[in-house]
Amino acid sequence: MGPLAVTQLLALISLTVAMDNGLLKTPPMGWMAWERFRCDIDCKDDPENCIREDLFRDMADRLVEDGWKELGYEYVIIDDCWMSMLRDEHGRLQPDPFRFPGGIAKLARYIHDRGLKLGIYADMGTHTCMGFPGTTLDTINIDAQTFASWGVDYLKFDGCSSNPIEQMLGYPLMSKALNATGRPMAYSCSWPVYVGGLPPKVNYSLLGDICHLWRNYVDIQDSWDSVQGIVEWFSNNQDDLQPAAGPGRWNDPDMLIIGNFGLSVDQARAQMALWAIMAAPLIMSNDLRNLDNSARFILQNKVAVAINQDSMGIQGRRLLQEKNHIEVYWRPLSHSASALVFLSRRTDMPSLYHTSLAKLKYDTGNYEAYDVFTGSTVTGLNATTQFTLSINPSGVVMWYINLRMTATKSYFCTLWRIL
């Protein structure tokens, strides 16, 4: 098929696709298996950590019983390695019968009975990234119908073992197929990451019409270097990426790794703060059965979650990179509020940062700030007030800022709605 024919076919597909089914008006929140549990299928010697239905039941129980669901963490998402190596006699994907003896439909009922939603993984290509059966162009419809019949609520559609033309055709076709099932399903596309993540190779206008969210960049790993690399790439390319995001269409810098092995407490706060500023999906990949209190407090911080879930859906931006390795990030919020994150890229000692809101482009006025991670408040700020922050190495200070109206209680009323 020549380039012109592909372009014409893609245009025809895009005219029939609109993924505006009312889902994900704010970034999705939940839990996903991949970063923490990978493709562990050794259920004989490692039953607690292998990819099997008990793992997802356990995480669903934890989301409900440990306070996650009430904060908005509602998706339980299966990643790669859930499948049998063969499709069934009708050509349908099927779960591994030993690791998922009850089947996906039964697991979905278990999750739905707890007021949660089930996500699943497939791959645009001959094989998944870990070598399980992929979804080729001729199986897109049957796979979408299969997922709908099981009660799936969210599809992560990866792109290993496929070429750019197959991706160009397959991602819109899967959107159309999901719509045709009549079951509302959130649709996460990995398409951009396979073609470099940036225009002109990525058409974000088209992507926003067919997908609810998309992976732009490489997989996150359990390290501060990985988090920093992702933040740097998104910030360096924010002029292309930030306008693409909004209600029902989100850039996805990948999973929250808070509570695993690679981040200090300060670095964990930094990831939570920066993902909130970026209006990123809050999809945890950790072991909720063995989460320490510091990780729980960060991930369950109501103000950080509320900033992430702000109804305006405007992705934030990096404002400044200072010579002393301090960076400042900003996001506008509803009710004339905003959020600021002061990030230290130093690794040796705390930094003192001197600034004012006027230097950060705030208009004249009186402001009050709430420190998201300490719970303290800063009052009596006007735009020109000089203030000094102490920022731990590879840590953050995160402020929720409100413009103070004539009634002094207005700030606290806004914050009360969050808390």
Which residues are known catalytic residues?
158, 219
Rounded Cα distance, 181 and 98, in Å: 29
Residue 242 is given by DSSP the state G
Yes or no: say if 326 and 392 are a contact pair by the CB < 8 Å rule.
no
320: Cβ contacts below 8 Å, ≥ 6 apart: 326, 327, 328, 360
Q: 87, 152, 160: which is closest to 123 by C-alpha?
A: 160
Cα–Cα distance between 250 and 372 in angstroms, integer?
A: 23
CA distances from 357 to 7, 72, 364 (A): 48, 32, 9
How far apart are the C-alpha atoms of 96 and 104, rounded to whole Å? Answer: 10
Taking the C-alpha atoms of residue 401 and residue 163, their distance in angstroms, rounded to an integer, is 46
Task: Provide the 8-state DSSP code for 218.
Answer: P
Encode 90-120 in three state secondary structure.
Answer: CCCCCECCCCCCCHHHHHHHHHHHCCCEEEE
> Which tokens go with 90?
């009708």
Tokens of 172: 């819109």
Give the whole-angstrom CA distance, residue 251 versus residue 243.
10
- The residues, any chain, with a CB within 8 Å of residue 384's CB and separated by 6 or more, are 356, 357, 358
Which of the 8 DSSP states describes residue 362?
Answer: P
Joined tokens for residue 89? 């006699």
Tokens of 63: 């989301």
SS3 at position 230: helix
DSSP 383-411: TT--EEEEE-TT-EEEEEEEE--SSTHHH
DSSP state for residue 124 in the 8-state scheme: B
Rounded Cα distance between 146 and 84, Å, is 14
Give the single-character DSSP code of 82.
-
Beta bridge partners of 122: 157
